[in-house]
Chain A
Amino acid sequence: MGQAIEVDHVWKYYGDYPALRDCTLGIAEGSCCALLGRNGAGKTTLLRILAGLSHFQRGNIRLFGTAPRASETRRRTGFLGHGIGVYEDLSARENLVFFARIADVPSVSQTADGWLKRVGLDRVAAMPVRQFSRGMRQRLALARAFLHEPNVLLLDEPFTSLDDRAIAMLSQLLIESRERGATIVLSTHQLREAMAIASHVALIENGKLRYSGERTQDMLDDPTLLYRLHTELGAA
C-alpha cells in the first residue's frame, strides 16, 4: 500500500515563531497513526493543516497525492475537532442532511436516516440539538464526521470528554473504517487508548517530530516509554 499522507519538511509559522519545524512524516494507507505530544507541542497545528484549516509556509503536504485544500481531498477527509461541529438550532436530522448535502453524498435523506439509526438518535431525529444531552451531541458529531465514509479521518483528541457509550461507538467506527481501508490520524493524551488502537505512532515536541514508526509491544506494555526515550523533558 502507498502513502496516504505525505508530510515533507513542513514548517508552520505564527509570525516569526515556528509552530512546526521541518516535519517529515509518512502515513501509509490503511494505517492508524497516533499523534502524541504534550500541550502546545504542535499536534493540533499539524492536524489542522492536514484538514485544510490552516496553511503552512514551507514544505509540501499531500493526501492521496493532492493538496489538503483541494476540494477532492476534503471530499475524502473526515475531521473531528475539539468542537462537535453541529448546529444547536437545527434538529439532528437537519444537521446530517445539511452536512450530507455539502459533502456531495448521493442519497442525502437515506444516508442521514441511516446514520441516525446507527448512532441511536433515530427516535430524537426531529428534536433540536440544543435539547440533547452531552452524550447525544457527541454521537451526532460522530455521525456527522463519518457519514460520507471518508478515506482519511483526522481526529483531534476524540476520546476527551466522551462518555462510555460514545467511546464504544467511536472505537467501533474506527475499527470499521480501518476494515474498509481508511487511514486514521488521531491526536490524543490518552496513551493507553492510543497504543491500543494505533498501528503507528508519531511524537511531536516543540514543533519537531521526535519519533515516528510502528507501534511496538514495548509501547503497548509501557505507554510512557516514547516520552522517556525521545523527548528532552522526558529525559530530564
Chain B
Amino acid sequence: MREKLAIALAAAGGALLVYNLYQMFLVLPDEAMQGAIYRILFFHAPAAIVGMVGYFVALTFSVLYLSSKDLRWDSLAASIVEVSLVFSLINICTGSIWARIIWGIWWTWDYRLTSALVCVLIFAGYLMLRRAIDEPTQRGRLSAALCIFGCVDVVIVWKSIEWFRNQHPGPVLSIRTGGGHMDPAMERIFWLNGLALLLIAIALVLIRTRQEATTREIDSLRRLAHAV
C-alpha cells in the first residue's frame, strides 16, 4: 500500500515537474535583469522551503518517538531529515550557481545561504550520529535528542546570522516587476514547482521509511540468530 502511494506521488510529482519545465523554458520569458538564469529560482527557493519545513516535521516525529517509543516515528524522522538534507543541498548548489552567473562569485555570505549551510551541517551531524549507533532504540533516542537541539538552534542561528549579516549588506535581487514582487505567471510556476518537489520529497520519504523498517527487521533477526 505504502509502495503504491510512493509510486503515485512520485509519478504525480514527476508529471507536474515536466509541465513546470515546459512552462519555465518554453512559455515564460526571460527576466529583465537576470536573463535566463532567473529560472533557477523555481528550484532554489522551493527546495529551501521543503528542506526547512522537513526539519521541523522531523522534529515533530522525534518528539512523538520519545513519548511513544514507537520506532516507526524514528524511521519517519530519520527519513525526513535525509530527504530534507538533499533538498537543502539543492538549495545551496542552485544558489551558488545563480551567484556565479549574476555576481561572478560561487558563494555569497548572504544570511539565508549561510543559515542554510549551518542547517546542512547540523543535520549532516544527525545522520553521522545515526550511522555510529548500531542499536535501534539507542539510535532513535539519541538522534531524537539531537533533532530537538538542532531545530531549536536553527531558529537562533537564522536570526543571529540575519542580524550579523545585516551589518554587511549584500546584493539585492530584482525581479521584472520590481519592488520585490514576482510576476503572477512566474509566481504560479514557483508554487507549482514547490508542490512538485514536495510530492517527490514525500515519495522519497516513504521509500526510505520502508528501507529503515527492513533494516530493523534484519537487525532483530541477526540478534535472534546470535542468541540461538
Indicate if A touches B (C-beta under 8 A).
yes
* Interface residues in chain A, defined as those with a beta carbon under 8 Å from any beta carbon in chain B: 13-17, 40, 55, 57, 206-207
Q: Considering the complex of A and B, which 9 residue pairs feature the smallest CB-CB distances, nearest first?
A: A15-B136, A16-B220, A17-B220, A17-B223, A15-B219, A15-B216, A16-B216, A15-B220, A14-B135
Question: Is residue B217 contacting chain A, with contact meaning CB distance below 8 A?
Answer: yes
Taking CB atoms, residues of chain A closer than 8 Å to B217 are 16
A13 touches B227 (CB 8 A): no
Query: Which residue of A13, A40, A206 contacts B137 across the interface (Cβ within 8 Å)?
Result: A13
Taking CB atoms, residues of chain B closer than 8 Å to A207 are 227
Shortest CB-to-CB span from B142 to chain A, Å, is 13
Contacts A15-B220, A17-B224, A40-B227; A57 near B136 (Cβ below 8 A): no
A57 touches B69 (CB 8 A): yes
Give the complex CA separation of A15 and B217 in angstroms. 8
Query: Of all chain B residues, which has the CB nearest A57?
Result: B69
Question: Is residue B6 contacting chain A, with contact meaning CB distance below 8 A?
Answer: no
B219 touches A16 (CB 8 A): yes
A15 touches B137 (CB 8 A): yes
Shortest CB-to-CB span from A15 to chain B, Å, is 3
Taking CB atoms, residues of chain B closer than 8 Å to A16 are 71, 136, 216-217, 219-220
Taking CB atoms, residues of chain B closer than 8 Å to A40 are 226-227
Give the complex CA separation of A14 and B223 in angstroms. 9
Give the complex CA separation of A209 and B223 in angstroms. 19
Give the complex CA separation of A16 and B219 in angstroms. 8
Give the complex CA separation of A206 and B226 in angstroms. 11
Query: Which residue of A17, A55, A57 contacts B219 across the interface (Cβ within 8 Å)?
Result: A17
Main secondary structure on B side of the interface with A: helix
- B interface size (C-beta, 8 A): 14
Taking CB atoms, residues of chain A closer than 8 Å to B71 are 15-16
A206 touches B135 (CB 8 A): no
B205-228 to A contact mask, C-beta < 8 Å, 1/0: 000000000001101100110111
Give the complex CA separation of A207 and B136 in angstroms. 18
B64-89 to A contact mask, C-beta < 8 Å, 1/0: 00000101000000000000000000
Taking CB atoms, residues of chain B closer than 8 Å to A55 are 69
Query: Of all chain A residues, which has the CB nearest B226?
Result: A40
Query: Of all chain B residues, which has the CB nearest A41?
Result: B227
Shortest CB-to-CB span from B78 to chain A, Å, is 13
B69 touches A15 (CB 8 A): no
Taking CB atoms, residues of chain A closer than 8 Å to B220 are 14-17
14 extra interchain contacts, Cβ-Cβ under 8 A, other than A14-B220, A15-B216? A13-B137, A14-B135, A14-B223, A15-B136, A15-B137, A15-B220, A16-B71, A16-B217, A16-B220, A17-B223, A55-B69, A57-B69, A206-B227, A206-B228
A14 touches B227 (CB 8 A): no
Query: Of all chain B residues, which has the CB nearest A207?
Result: B227
Shortest CB-to-CB span from A189 to chain B, Å, is 17
18 A–B contacts from the bound complex (CB under 8 Å): A13-B137, A14-B135, A14-B220, A15-B135, A15-B136, A15-B137, A15-B220, A16-B216, A16-B217, A16-B220, A17-B219, A17-B220, A17-B223, A17-B224, A40-B227, A57-B69, A206-B227, A206-B228
Taking CB atoms, residues of chain B closer than 8 Å to A57 are 69
Taking CB atoms, residues of chain B closer than 8 Å to A17 are 219-220, 223-224
